[in-house]
Amino acid sequence: MKTDRPKQLLTLNGTPILVHTIRKFEACNVIDYVIVTAPRESLDEVRELVKSAGFKKAIGVIEGGERRQDSVRMGLEHLQSGTEIVAVHDGVRPFVSTQEIENVVAQAGRIGAAILGVPIVDTVKQAEKDFVESTLTREHLLLAQTPQAFRIDILKEAFDHATRDEYYGTDESSLVERMGHPVAIVRGSERNIKITRPSDLTLARALLEEEKAAQ
């Protein structure tokens, strides 16, 4: 992002991306509360942002870890008693819809694990250095999104296995997959972008204007 600030604290129309994201979960009926993991150096700032945003649901802010997997593991340690399903989401995906959240949580309740995903429309090449090795079949590929939702017992077991094996995955689904547990796919949306590059901010501003116009 060419900035020292965490991406989720950058602003869209004057509001931090993280606040835009939490608002989607605030508006979703199947979400009871939210836990935000934040870098140690931004912990106080994030807590103040959440407090000043005036959310009605309980929004906890805790210190995250060095990597994504470490942060999610810490979040699991702060779940409220009686929680059955957890949905893990990227703080820089503010355009997920409440319907998508509800759909993936419902499927996790039925199957035990579910993710949002969208089909790949581009041709995908497998490469080695600067040369193409093969062309992959798109019909068997998709882009994984978040939230990724799981029954608590399944996700905690997956994390226990990963810790034991010193395994780091790129998402929570990969931890569950390696246990052999099925992970259901729920159709996501091309609007559910992950804001990671400067060009994504331009697209995000346009998507935000579309959301405002549709209200």
List, for residues 81-105, the tens digit of each pLDDT value. 999 999 999 999 999 999 999 999 9
pLDDT band (50, 70, 90) for residue 1 = low
In DSSP terms, 113 is beta-bridged to 150
Model pLDDT, residue 194 = 97
Strand bridging mode 142-151 / 184-187: unpaired
Note the pTM of the prediction, 2 decimals: 0.94
The conformational region for residue 42 under phi > 0 = left, psi -120 to 50 = alpha, else beta, is alpha
Convert 69-107 to b/e letters by CB count within 10 Å (16 or more is b): bebbbebbeeeeeeeebbbbbbbbbbbbbbebbbbbbeb
8 A C-beta contact, residue 133 and residue 126: yes
| pLDDT-above-70 percentage for the chain | 100
Over residues 173-195, the mean pLDDT reads: 97
What pLDDT shows up at residue 50? 96
Confidence (pLDDT) at 54: 95
**What average pLDDT does range 32-43 have in this prediction?**
96
Average pLDDT score over residue span 186-190: 97
Q: Residue 24 above 70 pLDDT?
A: yes
Q: What's the mean pLDDT in 151-170?
A: 97
Amino acid occupying residue 45: E
Percent of the chain residues past pLDDT 90, beyond the cut? 94
Residue 33 has pLDDT above 80, yes or no: yes
Please give the helix or strand (H or E) that residue 133 lies within, else none: strand 131-136
Per residue, the 3-state secondary structure of 41-90, as one string, reads: HHHHHHHHHHHHHCCCCEEEEEECCCCHHHHHHHHHCCCCCCCCEEEECC
Q: What is the pLDDT of residue 3?
A: 77
pLDDT band at 215 (very low <50, low <70, confident <90, very high): confident
What is the 8-class DSSP label of residue 137?
A: -
